[in-house]
Structure 1
Amino acid sequence: MASYSLHILASQLPMAAPGTADVLHKTLGIEPKSPASRPSAVQAAVSCGFDTFNYTETTIDKLQDAIKFIGEVLTGANHAQHYLDVIDQLNHNGPQLNAVIETSPTALAQAIAQDRNGTRSGLLHGIPILIKDNIATSGDGLTACAGSFAMEGNIAPRDAFLVQKLRAAGAIVLGHANMVEWANWRTLSESVDWRYHPLLLTMFHTNSPRSARGGIAKNPYVLTAPTTGSSSGSGSTVAANMIPVAIGTETGLWFVVDMRIE
Structure 2
Amino acid sequence: MPLPELSISDWQDAMAREKWTSADLVEGFLAQIAALDSAGPCLRSVIEINPDAMQIAEALDQERQAGAVRGPLHGIPVIIKDSIDTADRMLTTAGSLALVGNHASQDATCVRRLREAGAVILAKSNMSEWGYMRSTRPCSGWSSRGGQTRNPHVLDRSPLGSSSGSAAATAANLCVASVGAEVDGSIVRPASANGIVGMKPTVGLISRYGIIGVAEPQDTAGPMARCVEDIATMMNALVGADPKDPTTSRCNARPMVNYRKMLRPDALAGARLGVARECFSGHEGTKGVIETAIRALRDLGADIVDPVQASELPFFGPMELELFQYGVRANINRYLSTHPGAQVRDFDELIEFNNRHAADVMPYFGQEFFELAREKGHWDDERCLHIQSELRRLARDDGIDKALEKHRLDAIIAPTEGSPAFAIDTVVGDHILPFGCSTPPAVAGYPHISVPAGFVNDLPVGLSFFGAADEDAKLIGYAFAFEQAVQARRAPRFLATKS
Aligned AA (1:126): G
Instruction: Work out which of the residue numbers 8, 25, 28 in structure 2 matches 1:82.
Output: 28
Q: Check conservation: 2:8, 2:72, Cα contact below 8 A.
A: no
Q: Deviation of residue 254 (structure 1)? A: 2.5
Instruction: Work out which of the residue numbers 103, 117, 123 in structure 2 matches 1:169.
Output: 117
* 1:96 and 2:42 are equivalent in the alignment: yes
- Quick one: percent identity of the two aligned structures? 38
> Matches of residues 108-119 of structure 1 in structure 2 within 5 Å?
108-117=54-63, 118=65, 119=68
Aligned-residue RMSD, C-alpha: 1.6
Q: Check conservation: 1:190, 1:209, Cα contact below 8 A.
A: no
Match of 2:414 in 1: none
Instruction: Work out which of the residue numbers 134, 145, 160 in structure 2 matches 1:213.
Output: 145
Q: How far does the alpha carbon of each residue in 1:90-110 deviate from its partner, in whole angstroms, 9 at most, with x for none? A: 111111100000001100011
Q: Deviation of residue 186 (structure 1)? A: 1.8
> Matches of residues 123-202 of structure 1 in structure 2 within 5 Å?
123-139=72-88, 141-187=89-135, 190-191=137-138
Q: Check conservation: 1:122, 1:168, Cα contact below 8 A.
A: no
Q: Check conservation: 1:129, 1:174, Cα contact below 8 A.
A: yes
| Moved >6 Å (runs of 4+) | none
> Matches of residues 11-90 of structure 1 in structure 2 within 5 Å?
44-45=2-3, 55-56=4-5, 58-69=6-17, 71=18, 73-90=19-36
Instruction: Supply the distance in 2 between the matched residues of 1:236 and 1:78 (Cα, whole angstroms).
Output: 22
Q: How far does the alpha carbon of each residue in 1:191-249 deviate from its partner, in whole angstroms, 9 at most, with x for none? A: 4xxxxxxxxxxxxxxx5451111111100010011122100001100111111101001
Give the match's secondary structure for 2:181. Answer: strand
Match of 2:166 in 1: 234
Aligned AA (2:59): A
Aligned AA (1:77): A
Q: Deviation of residue 121 (structure 1)? A: 2.0
Q: Deviation of residue 114 (structure 1)? A: 1.2
Instruction: Supply the distance in 2 between the matched residues of 1:250 and 1:108 (Cα, whole angstroms).
Output: 29
Instruction: Supply the distance in 1 between the matched residues of 2:141 and 2:2 (Cα, whole angstroms).
Output: 30
Give the match's secondary structure for 1:254. Answer: coil
Q: Check conservation: 1:147, 1:212, Cα contact below 8 A.
A: yes
Q: How far does the alpha carbon of each residue in 1:110-156 deviate from its partner, in whole angstroms, 9 at most, with x for none? A: 101111222212231010000000000012x1001111111111000
Normalised TM-score (structure 2): 0.37
Instruction: Supply the distance in 2 between the matched residues of 1:100 and 1:152 (Cα, whole angstroms).
Output: 16
Aligned AA (1:111): A
More helix by share: 2
Q: How far does the alpha carbon of each residue in 1:67-97 deviate from its partner, in whole angstroms, 9 at most, with x for none? A: 111x1x5211101111111111111111110
Query: Which 5+ residue runs of structure 2 have no aligned equivalent?
Result: 195-499
Instruction: Supply the distance in 2 between the matched residues of 1:251 and 1:88 (Cα, whole angstroms).
Output: 31
Aligned AA (1:134): S
Instruction: Supply the distance in 2 between the matched residues of 1:254 and 1:129 (Cα, whole angstroms).
Output: 18
Give the match's secondary structure for 1:223. Answer: coil
Match of 2:192 in 1: 260
Instruction: Supply the distance in 1 between the matched residues of 2:109 and 2:7 (Cα, whole angstroms).
Output: 24
CA 1:144–1:96 in 2, change beyond 3 Å: closer, same or farther? same
Q: Check conservation: 2:95, 2:129, Cα contact below 8 A.
A: yes
Q: Check conservation: 1:234, 1:247, Cα contact below 8 A.
A: yes
Give the match's secondary structure for 1:84. Answer: helix
CA 1:75–1:209 in 2, change beyond 3 Å: closer, same or farther? closer
Structure possessing the higher radius of gyration over alpha carbons:
2
CA 1:87–1:209 in 2, change beyond 3 Å: closer, same or farther? closer
Matched residue pairs, number?
191
Q: How far does the alpha carbon of each residue in 1:150-197 deviate from its partner, in whole angstroms, 9 at most, with x for none? A: 11110000100000100000000001011111102424x714xxxxxx
Aligned AA (1:104): N
Q: How far does the alpha carbon of each residue in 1:32-74 deviate from its partner, in whole angstroms, 9 at most, with x for none? A: xxxxxxxxxxx835xxxxxxxxx22x100011111111x1x52
Match of 1:195 in 2: none
Higher relative contact order, chain-length normalized (CA < 8 Å, sep 6+) = 1
Q: Check conservation: 1:149, 1:212, Cα contact below 8 A.
A: yes
Instruction: Supply the distance in 1 between the matched residues of 2:69 and 2:51 (Cα, whole angstroms).
Output: 23
